[in-house]
Amino acid sequence: MAINSDAITIDEAKIHTALETTREDAVRVREVLDKALELKGLNESDVTALACVESPELLDALFTTAKQVKDEIYGRRMVLFAPLYVSNLCANDCVYCAFRKGNPAVHRRALRQEEVAGETKILIDQGHKRVLLVAGEAYPKEGLEYIFKCIETIYDVKTEWGEIRRINVNIAPLEVDEFRALKACRIGTYQLFQETYHRDTYSRVHLAGRKRDFDWRIGAMSRAMEAGIDDVGVGVLFGLYDWRFEVLALMQHVAQLEERFGVGCHTISVPRIEPAVGAEASEHPPMPVSDTDFRKLVAILRLTVPYTGLIMSTREGPDMRRETLALGVSQISAGSRTNPGGYDKEDYEMSQFSLGDHRSVDEVVRDISQMGYIPSFCTGCYRMGRTGQDFMDLAKPGLIKHYCEVNAVSTFVEFLEHYASPETKAVGDQLVEQVLAEMSPGQRNRAEPLVREVRDGKRDAYV
Ligand code: SAM
Ligand code: SF4
């Protein structure tokens, strides 16, 4: 039976039938992988064929194709950001989350604006330029205005060499007029995870509060886009239900946004459930996703929506993060804390879940530089108005690359000049020289003057 919400319909029966009737088929899989190399994305039948891959040879072929597509579209740049948890107040009861209402193990706290400014300053001093503001689904007495004030506070913090240039937000779903007000605060992406697209599972794991309402949540992206927010980020909390169902349902969600608004989603996040204090269910996810399946789903998403950013958080450990960078991930968080005030003082008793990667930003930057990636702190597109449809119009013919690699290098040099340890600077400087030498003449002509300007003390140089 098809299930209706305001604007989004997930056809569960269609997905179940497709998964039940499809078996691994080598000829079909090779055909889909060839199609993926055309960089035009895949349909549900293609994705079902890939989701049924089990044999090592076909898995290898899937991973190799994902790497090719990743290289072709994203080259070697890797965008970095940090979450900033402003509050763990919450009126909902999601069985997997430490912030769930009534969890006595968690000390509740919404940061005061001075504390938000303090956390922001710490992130800027680590070299960050992009922040993901995160909050539980209840606000202090000012209501939603609290979030607006936090955004203003973060943008207002300036240090000698830095400032936050893009704030993405992951907060509770809003009404259309509230989304308009949020957009007016100059946010980048509005991010919200459906958690699970499987309605029965959804009602089993969301026990109280407004989040119980599946339709209210699944309609959030439509309302955000109606309000003019054209960069939206979707996601699934993997481990709640069959990952193959979730990937196909997510595709249906994105396709309907694209049909209605002319553009799908800007990013997809792929969190897996991690242990959380006072949330027993997080220790035993109903349908845990194995490491192999996790790699598989990242590769499949890369081929399915080649121009959509894929985000990997510090929930995963360093090894899995390294592997999935090659398979399709284009943005990673680094040096994260998931308790409000965590950059000043980490406190697991106030954290949302446990982290898999505890390295500092400097260490992550050095590590990925050694792997040949250019750590990018670029926020150029968003500030030049290259968002939503405009972004996709540039991205699809491959034009965005002209900006991205150049801006990645200039923002990386900014990091190396002002924030890197001597060890990281040495590794990074060498990589920058190599990247400049390997650029096309046209790109190099754009990149070299920017790099010179940044080394001469100019900040925020981008094209
Ligand atoms: N409260 C808002 C919400 O629920 O959408 C936004 C913030 S919530 C802190 C951000 C995301 O964290 C959730 O959407 C959920 O997917 C994820 N999350 C919650 N508990 C988790 C856990 N134990 N492990 C990994 N991710 C978790
Ligand atoms: Fe609250 Fe979000 Fe955690 Fe659910 S996932 S308990 S809504 S903070």
265 ligand 1 Cβ < 6 A: no
End-to-end Cα spacing for the chain: 49
Tell whether the model's pLDDT for residue 423 goes beyond 90. yes
Kindly state the average pLDDT of the residues 203-223: 97
Question: At 233, is the secondary structure helix, strand, or coil?
Answer: strand
Domain ranges of the chain: 1-457
In tens, the pLDDT along 279-337 reads 999 999 999 999 999 999 999 999 999 999 999 998 899 999 999 999 999 999 998 99
Kindly state the average pLDDT of the residues 225-244: 97
Region of 254 (left: φ > 0; alpha: ψ -120 to 50; beta: rest) is alpha
Do residues 63 and 299 touch, judged by C-beta distance below 8 A? yes
Tell whether the model's pLDDT for residue 5 goes beyond 60. no
- The predicted pLDDT at position 398 comes to 63
Alpha carbon 1 to its chain centroid, in Å, reads: 31
Rounded Cα distance between 154 and 41, Å, is 37
What is the CB neighbour count within 10 angstroms for residue 249?
26
Nearest residue CA, atom 20 of ligand 1?
97
In tens, the pLDDT along 79-120 reads 999 999 999 999 999 999 999 998 999 989 999 999 999 999
Rounded Cα distance between 35 and 104, Å, is 52
116 Cα to the center of ligand 1, angstroms: 20
Do residues 338 and 276 touch, judged by C-beta distance below 8 A? no
In tens, the pLDDT along 35-53 reads 999 999 999 999 999 999 9
In tens, the pLDDT along 241-278 reads 999 999 999 999 999 999 999 988 999 999 999 999 99
Q: What is the mean pLDDT of the chain?
A: 92
- Residue 178 has φ and ψ, to the nearest 5°, of -70, -40
- Pick from 26, 54, 53, 29: nearest CA to 42: 29
Residue 38's alpha-carbon distances to 76, 142, 445, in angstroms, are 20, 50, 29
Query: Hey, which of 97, 221, 272, 274 would you mutate to test ligand 1's pocket, going by the most ligand atoms within 8 Å of its Cβ?
Result: 97
Which pTM value belongs to this model?
A: 0.95
The string of DSSP letters for 24-63 reads --HHHHHHHHHHHTTTS---HHHHHHHHT--SHHHHHHHH
97 Cα to the center of ligand 1, angstroms: 6
**CATH number of the 1-457 domain:** 3.20.20.70
- The predicted pLDDT at position 104 comes to 92
- The predicted pLDDT at position 381 comes to 67
The length of the chain in residues reads: 463
- The predicted pLDDT at position 6 comes to 54
170 ligand 1 Cβ < 6 A: yes
Rounded Cα distance between 268 and 247, Å, is 11
By percentage, how much of the chain surpasses pLDDT 90?
82
97 ligand 1 Cβ < 6 A: yes
53 ligand 1 Cβ < 6 A: no
Q: Where are the beta strands (DSSP E) in 154-285?
A: 166-170, 190-191, 232-235, 267-269
Query: Hey, which of 85, 96, 97, 240 would you mutate to test ligand 2's pocket, going by the most ligand atoms within 8 Å of its Cβ?
Result: 97
Bridging pattern class, strands 2-4 and 9-11? antiparallel
Query: Hey, which of 92, 193, 273, 352 would you mutate to test ligand 2's pocket, going by the most ligand atoms within 8 Å of its Cβ?
Result: 92
- The predicted pLDDT at position 337 comes to 92
- The predicted pLDDT at position 394 comes to 63
397 Cα to the center of ligand 1, angstroms: 35
Any idea which ligand is nearest the CA of 170?
1
Nearest residue CA, atom 8 of ligand 2?
136
- The predicted pLDDT at position 3 comes to 41
What is the CB neighbour count within 10 angstroms for residue 163?
15
Torsion of CA 443, 444, 448, 450, to 10 degrees: 0
- The predicted pLDDT at position 1 comes to 40
Query: Hey, which of 88, 95, 103, 137 would you mutate to test ligand 2's pocket, going by the most ligand atoms within 8 Å of its Cβ?
Result: 137
Query: Hey, which of 192, 352, 353 would you mutate to test ligand 1's pocket, going by the most ligand atoms within 8 Å of its Cβ?
Result: 352
319 Cα to the center of ligand 1, angstroms: 22
Instruction: Copy the structure tokens of residue 304.
Output: 């399915």
Rounded Cα distance between 218 and 246, Å, is 13
At residue 401 the predicted structure's pLDDT band, cuts being 50, 70 and 90, is low
Return the higher-pLDDT residue of 397 and 52: 52
Kindly state the average pLDDT of the residues 399-409: 78
195 ligand 2 Cβ < 6 A: no
Do residues 356 and 394 touch, judged by C-beta distance below 8 A? no
What H or E segment, with its residue span, contains residue 130?
strand 130-135
Tell whether the model's pLDDT for residue 411 goes beyond 50. yes
Rounded Cα distance between 206 and 461, Å, is 45
Any idea which ligand is nearest the CA of 88?
2
- The predicted pLDDT at position 2 comes to 42
82 ligand 2 Cβ < 6 A: no
315 ligand 1 Cβ < 6 A: yes
Rounded Cα distance between 419 and 161, Å, is 9
Do residues 86 and 134 touch, judged by C-beta distance below 8 A? yes
92 ligand 2 Cβ < 6 A: yes
In tens, the pLDDT along 156-184 reads 999 988 999 999 999 999 999 999 999 99
Angle between helices 400-418 and 388-395 (to 10 degrees): 100
In tens, the pLDDT along 322-333 reads 999 999 999 999
Instruction: Copy the structure tokens of residue 63.
Output: 């991973």
What is the CB neighbour count within 10 angstroms for residue 101?
18
Rounded Cα distance between 3 and 249, Å, is 12
Q: Where are the alpha helices (DSSP H) in 262-385?
A: 291-304, 318-327, 361-370, 380-383
- The predicted pLDDT at position 126 comes to 96
Question: At 181, is the secondary structure helix, strand, or coil?
Answer: helix
99 ligand 2 Cβ < 6 A: yes
